[in-house]
Amino acid sequence: MTAMIDAQKLTKIYLDKDRGEIRAADEVSFSCRRGEIFGLLGPNGAGKTTTLRLLSTVIRPTSGKAIINGYDIMTQPEKIRASIGFLSATTGLFPRMTASEILYYFGRLHHVPAAELKARVEKLVQLFEMEAFLDVRTDRLSTGMKQKVSIARTLVHDPPVLIFDEPTVGLDILVTSVMMRFIQSCKEENRAVIFSTHIMSEAEKLCDRIAIIHEGRIHATGNLSELQSLTGKKFLEDIFIHLINRAEQDLTHEPV
């Protein structure tokens, strides 16, 4: 099956006044098919967000390439953004707009035809049970309600690819559960899903394949059994720690 997302050696280098050259993403390569949930598992600052931002074209890679839904991130960024739904802790909602206004606003920015947009919004409102707070400003909504609006915003243009960057950060267990069910449902709808997290249980529960990322590099990719055989460890947490330790040893012994 053709990959919906195909990242090849994506690299992003920042120049920092104090720390010099920083490789936020270092030759990151992976692929994700339709109906697959691909997990990026790494500690804070591992390069997960940078990698996902590169895929979403909001930042440009220093080198490397990626194809999403047949479009090149370098030459067709607008088509890429039309093909993806991106949800993270940093994709906030306009506090002075209502849920309804936000959904229509993003639908229009995604050039969804008016009649189709109306039907789409109505469907999402029904799906996420948002009728009661549809016309309430989002700064007056609870965290759970906001999360529902964010999810609906991500889906308003019916994207074939979904990218979730640590979507459960700061959420309570009930809202997290809604989020997890939603991500699972995306797989069932045959969408390609990339899901970044540093929470092992989430990755273990949701992901078909997992890439362990640390210091901007992917150190291993595979499903749970493949990672188990690679490391000789049973639990994902142990696998993760094993790979991270090995990566740090490699870095220490790397010739200068």
Cα distance between residue 183 and residue 189, in whole Å? 10
Q: Does 17 bind other proteins (CB under 8 A)?
A: yes
Site for other proteins in 71-110 (CB under 8 A): 75, 77-79, 81-82, 84, 86, 88-95, 106, 109-110
What's phi and psi for 64, nearest 5 deg? 95, 175
- Looking at the Cβ atoms of 84 and 220, the one nearer to other proteins is 84
- CA gap 92, 141 in Å, rounded: 13
Residue placing its CB nearer to other proteins in the complex, 179 or 239: 179
SS3 breakdown of the chain: % helix, strand, coil, rounded to 5?
40, 30, 30
Total residues contacting other proteins (rule CB under 8 A)? 28
Nearer to other proteins, 47 or 212 (CB): 47
- Considering the rule CB under 8 A, would residue 63 count as an interface residue with other proteins? no
Identify which of residues 164 and 240 has a Cβ nearer to other proteins in the complex. 164
The size of the chain, in residues, is 256
Residue whose CB is less far from other proteins, 5 or 243:
5
By CB under 8 A, residue 19 contacts other proteins: no
Q: Looking at beta carbons only, is 17 or 253 nearer to other proteins?
A: 17
The alpha-helical segments, DSSP class H, found in 88-223 are 99-109, 114-127, 143-155, 173-188, 200-206
The answer to whether 195 contacts other proteins (rule: CB under 8 A) is no
Candidate residues 22, 59, 171, 241; the one interacting with other proteins per rule CB under 8 A: 59
| 98 vs 3: CA distance, rounded Å | 37
Computed from CA positions of residues 122, 98, 182, 53, in that sequence, does the dihedral angle turn out positive or negative? positive
Rg of the chain taking only CA atoms, in angstroms = 19
Min. distance of Cβ 89 from other proteins in angstroms? Answer: 8
* CA distance linking residue 153 with residue 147, whole number of Å: 10
| Least Å from the CB of residue 197 to other proteins | 18
Question: Which residues bind to other proteins, rule: CB under 8 A?
Answer: 15, 17, 56-60, 75, 77-79, 81-82, 84, 86, 88-95, 106, 109-111, 153
